[in-house]
């Protein structure tokens, strides 16, 4: 039995019979993810392959066992053409491996697809609709025979076989989400937002803090997630790039009983800075040769990596807040009235920051000046530019302590711009949201804007606490 | 009781509509009303659920059980096994008892050694029976300042879970006063405790805690007057509690003193459901087996030996019960009545818990009531029951076989089978098992109940937090 990191920073005791499993995972990870610093032991848990490839494989198996006859026409339509084409390509590869002779059928609807398949010489036809809904990539449709008996004459009667109704789904991931939203490359449409969410990564314990930033300079943001024991770095697609245990840092004399801390990713020099509430010091890390290397310790918590100068603060001992002093570039920049829960900034709003307090109050400050203040902010709130038009939105989680799944609202920042002398804006619930929905599951305790696909429009990555004590990162982006 | 109050279920109680900025809020003073006649804070005696819950605020053990009933380190930073018979336990450095003295492996061993002291006899010593020498040389296991090397005489996979039991909470054995390491520490003012900022699992949400010891009605009144945020052991309002009922009460007897057919007479006379319905506090369940229903779910009621009727003059026996427990007194009176009908003239004698345990340890009783907080694992719970029956020698007979089963569910199943086979062999009549009624005010959030059935008050926070 060994102690491994567990919920709330306390060691979880695991039995030695886990050793073979761990060894197997290590072997798998070493071959599958050679770039990773160390092989995956137990977490984060991530299914093999992308969501699209997993779903294509499942549907391929189902079609193979449904008596489809070659050549098989394949007609796939979907939420976004890119998603449908991508899924169709992988599905036809699966079907070809099963010697079903797939033929891509282009048609404007299902009835036309039947005619097109027949004229293309197919003996059976697979018609599927693929979409992302409620965090699932799903495909639904049917399999039918299109071969016409000579004795039927001109009437296109269907044979009795094959005939099957098909359905399958897989947890959507950032890859599927990117394909679903590929039409965002076109200029953003004006109007209410529509956000769709997917699972970005699973974590064995609850996230204490998350951050996004372009660490490798490819124009797309990586995502860092801090837990009570480790720091994880994910690629824009949600693949684990590296992980780093922070047990070597001295323990805090007054740890927080729940996962809490700060993490930021700065571009120049490329560094990840973090400070866990379980430790008395923070640390800077650099990504070298696929691994995270220590690059110095920190006395202050990295709150936000602003382009001009990093914002730092101090963890309140034993608590899940930061002390009211915020330091910018080594100088006291803001002295708030009370400890705060979270701080969020954005590259489009230099010097402007959203603060959230434990009582659910949020305020937008430019320098030390308060632009507005309102109630109704959950801890998982962030500034983001979903439409890539330079106009910021607020994504806010619920102020409710126990809610499953958490509620999310996106509100245009313009709606909260000061129009009166008072900075007080009442409660966010009195403002019409540009979008309202829920997380895929769990409680949202952290949020950060991230440009995962380099298109200039933001996605928002959420740090989610699940009821079973594990955690999850979810990504929400604008739907086409 | 008004509808405004909610009863704690086993899982976390989280009023969905409450506002807390979505994270727990630190600060404020938590007011606790406790239905308790006596504030017993020695882990060896504090085994009513109310006492254990209060004691757990001031003194914790090396580990606790998580929701999956697996051990998680509290005072221990690591528990690892080099072999099935060797457990290495690392005590966190820089821990201090509430009076300021440091905690090391030696202090942990000394605290556990109290289980073997003649002055503090306790059936919970069975939890340490698998240790080599039955745990009597524990002080030798402290191999370095922060390391305990625990060697067992036979494989005992449940050792870690056993060490999480409240009776093994670590207290300072040097001072003779009960100083521990818990989420709260005494302030010197009676009934008032302050948050321990350096508690290894993190300080509690509340800055301070006040405890008012009262009776059931008093606890309910304090809640309704909003002078308490949580009541432990409050009056029954008819709602069910989801906490596991692991506080088990047995009737121990000495066959050579009360006669061969005593068990049959008891079994013929008592109706366990009646006891739980009319004589003891809810939540309570009838316990026909050695293990409570929470550890032996779905088991069929055993068929007791038939009572053949009494002959001759009434037999005079004395029943010892814990005078601090009203439930025991009520059941003792019921037994007195029912046994009288079956030829036993029972004298009741209420004694202190310490005196009761002393009488048990010496075998100096005819009838005796045992109320024990069983660990939420069948094998260690069975070990405690066997010890309570005074059959210490059976531990060496049965525990090695149980410990040889590595797979937990199979071991648990075997322990249940064994408990069934030992039921009529042991001089112990299981009666009922109780849980702890926990009532919380709506402004208190985040309160959870652990697998032992005890509320984790350090995890609870006030909606409005502190100043």
Inform me whether the pLDDT recorded for B292 exceeds 70: yes
**Which residue in B15, B81, B205 is closest to A16 by CB distance?**
B81
Write the CB contacts of A53 (distance below 8 Å, at least 6 apart in sequence): A90
Question: B233, B239, B238: which is closest to B220 by C-alpha?
Answer: B233
Highest mean pLDDT among A22-36, A43-57, B86-100: B86-100
Q: Under an 8 A CB cutoff, do A318 and B87 touch?
A: no
Confidence at residue A98, expressed as pLDDT on a 0 to 100 scale: 85
- Cα–Cα distance for residue pair B198/A407, rounded to 1 Å: 35
pLDDT category, A402, cuts 50, 70, 90? confident
Inform me whether the pLDDT recorded for B443 exceeds 60: yes
Does any CB of chain B come closer than 8 Å to the CB of residue A294?
Answer: no
What 8-state DSSP symbol labels residue A432? P
Per residue in A192-230, pLDDT tens?
A: 788 999 999 999 999 999 999 999 889 999 999 999 999
**A chain contacts of residue B62, beta-carbon cutoff 8 Å:** none
Helices B392-403 & B408-422, crossing angle to 10 degrees? 150
Inform me whether the pLDDT recorded for B13 exceeds 70: no
Q: What is the mean pLDDT of residues A172-181?
A: 77
pLDDT category, B427, cuts 50, 70, 90? very high
pLDDT category, A181, cuts 50, 70, 90? low
DSSP states along B345-359: EEEEEEE-HHHHHHH
Confidence at residue B238, expressed as pLDDT on a 0 to 100 scale: 46
- Cα–Cα distance for residue pair A478/A127, rounded to 1 Å: 27
| Least confident window among B16-20, B84-88, B323-327, B381-385 | B16-20
Best to test chain A binding among B202, B408, B411, B467 (most A CBs inside 10 Å): B202
**B chain contacts of residue A254, beta-carbon cutoff 8 Å:** 197-198, 203
Confidence at residue A182, expressed as pLDDT on a 0 to 100 scale: 54
Q: Under an 8 A CB cutoff, do A255 and B205 touch?
A: no
Confidence at residue A347, expressed as pLDDT on a 0 to 100 scale: 84
**A chain contacts of residue B66, beta-carbon cutoff 8 Å:** 6-7, 12, 469
- Cα–Cα distance for residue pair A126/B459, rounded to 1 Å: 55
**A chain contacts of residue B74, beta-carbon cutoff 8 Å:** 10
Q: Under an 8 A CB cutoff, do A469 and B66 touch?
A: yes
Question: A363, A358, A368: which is closest to A344 by C-alpha?
Answer: A363
Per residue in B133-167, pLDDT tens?
A: 888 888 888 899 999 999 999 999 999 999 999 99
Q: What is the mean pLDDT of residues B378-396?
A: 95
pLDDT category, B173, cuts 50, 70, 90? confident
**Which residue in A17, A253, A445 is closest to B198 by CB distance?**
A253
Q: What is the mean pLDDT of residues B51-68?
A: 90
Confidence at residue A136, expressed as pLDDT on a 0 to 100 scale: 81
| Least confident window among A27-41, B83-97, B168-182, B430-444 | A27-41
**A chain contacts of residue B205, beta-carbon cutoff 8 Å:** 257
Confidence at residue B8, expressed as pLDDT on a 0 to 100 scale: 36
Q: Is B304 helix (H, G, I), strand (E, B) or coil?
A: coil
Per residue in A221-255, pLDDT tens?
A: 999 999 999 999 999 999 999 999 999 999 999 99
Is A384:A346 a contact under the CB 8 Å cutoff?
Answer: yes
Confidence at residue B307, expressed as pLDDT on a 0 to 100 scale: 76
Peptide bond into B257 cis (omega under 30): no
Q: Under an 8 A CB cutoff, do B204 and A257 touch?
A: yes
Does any CB of chain B come closer than 8 Å to the CB of residue A9?
Answer: yes
ipTM attached to this prediction: 0.82
- Cα–Cα distance for residue pair A428/A434, rounded to 1 Å: 12
Other CB atoms within a 10 A radius of the CB of residue A191 amount to: 8
Does any CB of chain B come closer than 8 Å to the CB of residue A1?
Answer: yes
Q: What is the mean pLDDT of residues B15-24?
A: 56
Higher pLDDT, A421 or B293: B293
Confidence at residue B21, expressed as pLDDT on a 0 to 100 scale: 54
Q: What is the mean pLDDT of residues B98-126?
A: 90
Per residue in A9-19, pLDDT tens?
A: 343 333 333 44
**A chain contacts of residue B67, beta-carbon cutoff 8 Å:** 469
Q: Under an 8 A CB cutoff, do B22 and A16 touch?
A: no
Joined tokens for residue B447:
């309160």
pLDDT category, A121, cuts 50, 70, 90? confident
Q: What is the mean pLDDT of residues B319-329?
A: 92
Write the CB contacts of B419 (distance below 8 Å, at least 6 apart in sequence): B289, B290, B291, B296, B378, B382, B385
**Which residue in B14, B19, B201 is closest to A257 by CB distance?**
B201
Q: What is the mean pLDDT of residues A50-63?
A: 88
**A chain contacts of residue B197, beta-carbon cutoff 8 Å:** 253-254, 317-318
- Cα–Cα distance for residue pair A56/A76, rounded to 1 Å: 12
| Least confident window among A128-142, A356-370, A450-464, B317-331 | A128-142
Confidence at residue A49, expressed as pLDDT on a 0 to 100 scale: 79
Is A122:A155 a contact under the CB 8 Å cutoff?
Answer: no
Per residue in B230-248, pLDDT tens?
A: 988 765 554 445 578 999 9
Write the CB contacts of B366 (distance below 8 Å, at least 6 apart in sequence): B253, B254, B257, B258, B317, B318, B319
Quote the percentage of chain A above a pLDDT of 70: 84
Query: Residue A273: what are its φ and ψ, rounded to 5°?
Result: -115, 140
- The model's pTM is 0.77
Q: What is the mean pLDDT of residues B411-417?
A: 95
**Which residue in A1, A17, A443 is closest to B79 by CB distance?**
A1
Does any CB of chain B come closer than 8 Å to the CB of residue A444?
Answer: yes
**Residue whose entry in the numeric block shows the structure tokens 């670590």:** B170
Q: What is the mean pLDDT of residues A305-326?
A: 90
Confidence at residue A186, expressed as pLDDT on a 0 to 100 scale: 39
Confidence at residue A12, expressed as pLDDT on a 0 to 100 scale: 38
Inform me whether the pLDDT recorded for B87 exceeds 90: yes
Query: Residue A303: what are its φ and ψ, rounded to 5°?
Result: -85, -40
pLDDT category, A147, cuts 50, 70, 90? confident
Q: Under an 8 A CB cutoff, do A360 and B21 touch?
A: yes
Does any CB of chain B come closer than 8 Å to the CB of residue A403?
Answer: yes
**Which residue in B19, B72, B73 is closest to A400 by CB distance?**
B19
- Cα–Cα distance for residue pair A136/A134, rounded to 1 Å: 6
Confidence at residue B73, expressed as pLDDT on a 0 to 100 scale: 93
**A chain contacts of residue B72, beta-carbon cutoff 8 Å:** 6-7, 10-13
Does any CB of chain B come closer than 8 Å to the CB of residue A397?
Answer: yes
Confidence at residue B107, expressed as pLDDT on a 0 to 100 scale: 92
Confidence at residue A200, expressed as pLDDT on a 0 to 100 scale: 93
| Least confident window among B21-25, B51-55, B86-90 | B21-25
Best to test chain A binding among B19, B23, B465 (most A CBs inside 10 Å): B23
Confidence at residue A5, expressed as pLDDT on a 0 to 100 scale: 41
């Amino acid at each position: 039995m060994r102690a491994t990191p567990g919920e709330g920073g306390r060691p979880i005791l695991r039995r030695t019979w886990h050793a073979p499993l761990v060894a197997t995972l290590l072997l798998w990870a070493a071959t599958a993810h050679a770039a990773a610093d160390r092989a995956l032991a137990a977490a984060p848990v991530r299914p093999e392959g992308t969501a699209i490839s997993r779903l294509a494989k499942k549907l391929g198996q189902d079609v193979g066992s449904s008596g489809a006859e070659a050549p098989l026409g394949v007609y796939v339509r979907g939420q976004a053409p890119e998603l449908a084409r991508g899924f169709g390509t992988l599905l036809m590869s699966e079907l070809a491996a099963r010697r079903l002779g797939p033929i891509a059928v282009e048609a404007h609807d299902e009835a036309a697809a039947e005619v097109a398949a027949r004229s293309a010489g197919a003996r059976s036809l697979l018609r599927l609709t693929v979409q992302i809904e409620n965090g699932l990539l799903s495909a639904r449709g049917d399999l039918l025979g299109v071969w016409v008996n000579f004795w039927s004459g001109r009437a296109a009667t269907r044979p009795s076989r094959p005939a099957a109704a098909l359905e399958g789904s897989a947890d959507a991931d950032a890859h599927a989400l990117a394909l679903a939203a590929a039409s965002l490359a076109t200029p953003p449409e004006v109007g209410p937002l529509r956000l769709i969410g997917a699972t970005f990564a699973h974590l064995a314990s609850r996230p204490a803090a998350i951050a996004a930033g372009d660490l490798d300079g490819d124009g797309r943001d990586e995502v860092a997630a801090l837990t009570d024991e480790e720091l994880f770095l994910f690629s824009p697609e949600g693949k684990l790039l590296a992980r780093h245990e922070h047990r070597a840092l001295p323990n805090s004399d007054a740890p927080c009983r729940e996962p809490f801390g700060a993490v930021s990713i700065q571009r120049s020099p490329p560094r990840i800075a973090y400070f866990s509430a379980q430790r008395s010091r923070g640390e800077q890390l650099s990504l070298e040769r696929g691994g995270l290397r220590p690059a110095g310790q920190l006395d202050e918590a990295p709150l936000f990596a602003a382009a001009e100068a990093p914002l730092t603060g101090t963890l309140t001992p034993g608590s899940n807040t930061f002390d009211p002093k915020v330091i910018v570039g080594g100088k006291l920049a803001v002295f708030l009235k009370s400890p705060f829960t979270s701080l969020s900034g954005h590259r489009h709003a230099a010097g402007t920051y959203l603060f959230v307090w434990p009582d659910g109050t949020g305020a937008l400050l430019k320098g030390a000046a308060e632009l507005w203040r309102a109630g109704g902010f959950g801890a998982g709130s962030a500034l983001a530019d979903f439409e890539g038009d330079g106009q910021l939105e607020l994504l806010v989680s619920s102020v409710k302590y126990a809610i499953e799944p958490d509620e999310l609202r996106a509100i245009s920042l313009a709606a909260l711009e000061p129009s009166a002398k008072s900075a007080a804006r009442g409660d966010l619930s009195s403002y019409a949201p540009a979008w309202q929905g829920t997380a895929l599951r769990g409680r949202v305790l952290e949020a950060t804007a991230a440009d995962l696909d380099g298109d200039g429009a933001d996605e928002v990555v959420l740090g989610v606490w699940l009821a079973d004590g594990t955690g999850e990162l979810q990504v929400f982006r604008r739907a086409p | 009781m008004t509808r405004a109050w909610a009863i704690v279920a086993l899982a976390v109680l989280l009023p969905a509509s409450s506002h807390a900025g979505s994270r727990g809020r630190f600060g404020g003073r938590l007011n606790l009303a406790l239905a308790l006649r006596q504030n017993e804070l020695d882990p060896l005696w504090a085994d009513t659920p109310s006492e254990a819950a209060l004691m757990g605020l001031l003194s914790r053990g090396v580990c606790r059980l998580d929701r999956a009933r697996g051990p998680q380190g509290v005072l221990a930073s690591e528990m690892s096994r080099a072999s099935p018979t060797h457990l290495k336990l690392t005590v966190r450095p820089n821990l201090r008892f509430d009076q300021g003295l440091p905690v090391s492996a030696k202090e942990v061993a000394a605290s556990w050694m109290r289980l073997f002291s003649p002055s503090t006899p306790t059936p919970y010593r069975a939890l340490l029976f698998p240790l080599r020498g039955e745990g009597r040389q524990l002080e030798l296991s402290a191999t370095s300042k922060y390391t305990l090397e625990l060697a067992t005489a036979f494989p005992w996979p449940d050792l870690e879970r056993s060490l999480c039991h409240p009776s093994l909470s670590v207290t300072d054995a040097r001072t003779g006063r009960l100083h521990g390491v818990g989420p709260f520490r005494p302030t010197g003012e009676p009934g008032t405790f302050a948050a321990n900022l350096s508690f290894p699992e993190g300080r509690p949400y509340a800055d301070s805690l006040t405890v008012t010891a009262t009776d059931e009605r008093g606890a309910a009144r304090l809640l309704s007057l909003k002078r308490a945020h949580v009541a432990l052991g409050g009056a029954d309002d008819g709602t069910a509690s989801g906490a596991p009922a692991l506080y088990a009460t047995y009737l121990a007897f000495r066959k050579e003193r009360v006669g061969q057919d005593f068990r049959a007479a008891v079994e013929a006379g008592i109706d366990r459901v009646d006891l739980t319905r009319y004589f003891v506090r809810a939540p309570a369940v009838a316990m026909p087996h050695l293990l409570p229903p929470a550890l032996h779910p779905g088991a069929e009621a055993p068929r007791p030996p038939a009572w053949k009727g009494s002959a001759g003059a009434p037999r005079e026996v004395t029943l010892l019960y814990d005078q601090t427990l009203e439930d025991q007194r009520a059941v003792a009176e019921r037994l007195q009545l029912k046994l009288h009908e079956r030829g036993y003239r029972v004298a009741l004698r209420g004694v202190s818990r310490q005196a009761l345990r002393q009488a048990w340890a010496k075998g100096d009783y005819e009838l005796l009531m045992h109320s024990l907080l069983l660990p939420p694992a069948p094998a260690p719970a069975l070990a405690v029951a066997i010890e309570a029956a005074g059959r210490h020698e059976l531990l060496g007979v049965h525990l090695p076989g149980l410990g040889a089963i590595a797979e937990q569910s199979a071991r648990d199943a075997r322990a249940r089978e064994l408990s069934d086979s030992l039921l009529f062999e042991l001089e112990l009549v299981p009666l009922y098992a109780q849980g702890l009624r926990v009532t919380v005010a709506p402004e208190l959030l985040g309160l959870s109940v652990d697998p032992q059935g005890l509320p984790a008050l350090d995890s609870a926070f006030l909606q409005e937090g502190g100043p």
